[in-house]
Amino acid sequence: MSEPTEDEIKAFVEDVEFLVNTLKESFESSDVQFYIDEQNEILYVKLEGLNDYTEDEIEEIAEPVLDELDLDFEEIILLPL
């Protein structure tokens, strides 16, 4: 498989940043950080105030966002910041 072009990498980063910012807004977080584990294809998103929500509330809020903005990750993990 060929290496991604600079434009493809830029578009991917923009998509990830859009997803992260959408999650930040959805959870009304004042701060957010993310890390991409490329080897395992996992996106870790740390959200300020996430621990104020129950697991059911997190799933209810995050699921539509993650379904709509489907990125090529094996897993997206939300963590409190």
The per-residue pLDDT for 1 is 59
Amino acid identity for residue 26 in this structure = S
- 61 by Cβ neighbours in 10 Å (0-12 / 13-18 / 19+) ranks as middle
pLDDT digits (tens, 9 = 90+) for 32-46: 999 999 999 999 999
Does residue 2 have a pLDDT over 70? yes
* Mean local confidence (pLDDT), 4-11: 88
Strands (E), 7-74: 32-37, 42-47
* Mean local confidence (pLDDT), 60-76: 88
- Domains (range + CATH), the chain: 6-80 (3.30.70)
* Mean local confidence (pLDDT), 38-64: 95
Amino acid identity for residue 36 in this structure = I
Who wins on pLDDT, 33 or 69? 33
Across the chain, mean pLDDT equals 92
Residue 37: helix, strand or coil by DSSP? strand
Contact, 13 vs 47, CB < 8 A? Answer: no
Amino acid identity for residue 13 in this structure = V
